[in-house]
Structure 1
Amino acid sequence: MAPLDALNDDTEGRFRQVSGNETRQPSKTWRLDFENGRIRRPIDGERAIRQFVRKTLMTERFRYAIYSADHGSELESLIGANITDNLKNVEIPRLVREALVVDDRIADVTNFEVERDKDAVFVTFDVVTAAGFRVGFEQMEVTA
């Protein structure tokens, strides 16, 4: 299968609505070693969801042609924006939730806490999976 054919291949299931009579596809993916720039062994379940969240939030939406318009976040749009801290405290959770719920493994993103430390912004939140499990993310730095 050529890479462009994969865009038309409907077997992935990850970024499309799954109706009640379809089986949810496994979330197996390759583990990305961000520190060493390597691709490692396959992962699934919570590890795959954690990696998806990290990768999605560090990828700016619409910047790279290799990704669909559904992948990535728009957090970078807040950098240098002339908005109040109160508005950032509302916008950051909205943009994080919007970026993550496109994946059918994620039902919701809740329990946001936004903290500022000088120029850095740290977000703590929970991801509620479609299977009903909560995956917590603590002190995740966002570039806003």
Structure 2
Amino acid sequence: MAPLDALNTENNDDRFRRVSGNETRQPSKTWRLDFETGEIGRYIDGERAIRQYVRKTLMTERFRYAIYSAAYGSELETLIGANVTDNLKNEEIPRLVREALVVDDRIADVTNFEVTRDKDAVFVSFDVITVDDFRVGFDREEVMAN
């Protein structure tokens, strides 16, 4: 449960940045998730928050969980067991990863894709370009197992 002062935006104006007009960029500050133990830790921000968002988004199947909006998650699972060639999968994976990630207002683009296979697992390497023109590289993120 979040401390009450974390929910009070009047005390945390630095968590939001005015973009233009009436738009407000969502804060990057979030709770740290330990994917191995399931524990929630202290706040993280910046690159660590982006890395966590990317990992969590890619591992969450879009439309599966009612708690998430229809914009959150990826559709990579649709390729598992699909009766399509590996070449087509290699072309679809970058598109699906990019579509899953650019919905976040901190992310401007996702580029430099490289899809690799190791036995039954499929990995993707790519760069996330933030709206502040910061590049965050991801190397061999597992996106599916055949």
- Same structural fold, with TM-score higher than 0.5 when normalized by the shorter chain: yes
User: Which residue in 2 is equivalent to 1:130?
Assistant: 131
> Unmatched 5+ residue regions in structure 2?
1-17
Percent identity, please.
Answer: 81
- Residue identity matched to 2:30: T
Deviation at 1:20, TM superposition (A): 2.7
Which residue matches 1:69?
70
Q: How far did residue 35 of structure 1 move?
A: 0.6
Equivalent in the alignment of 1:20? 20
Larger Rg belongs to: 2
Q: State the partner residue of 1:47.
A: 48
What is the CA deviation profile of residues 73-130 of structure 1, one whole-angstrom value per residue up to 9, with x for unaligned ones?
0000000001111111110000000000000000000000000112110100000000
- Which residue identity lines up with residue 88 of structure 1 in the other structure? K
> How far, CA to CA, are the matches of 1:98 and 1:20 in structure 2?
24
Q: Which runs of 4+ in 1 moved over 6 A?
A: none
**For the aligned residues, what is the CA RMSD?**
1.4
Greater RCO between the two (CA within 8 Å, min separation 6)? 1
Q: Unaligned stretches of 5+ in structure 1? A: 1-17
Equivalent residues, number: 127
TM-score relative to the length of structure 1:
0.84
Per the alignment, residue 84 of structure 2 pairs with 83
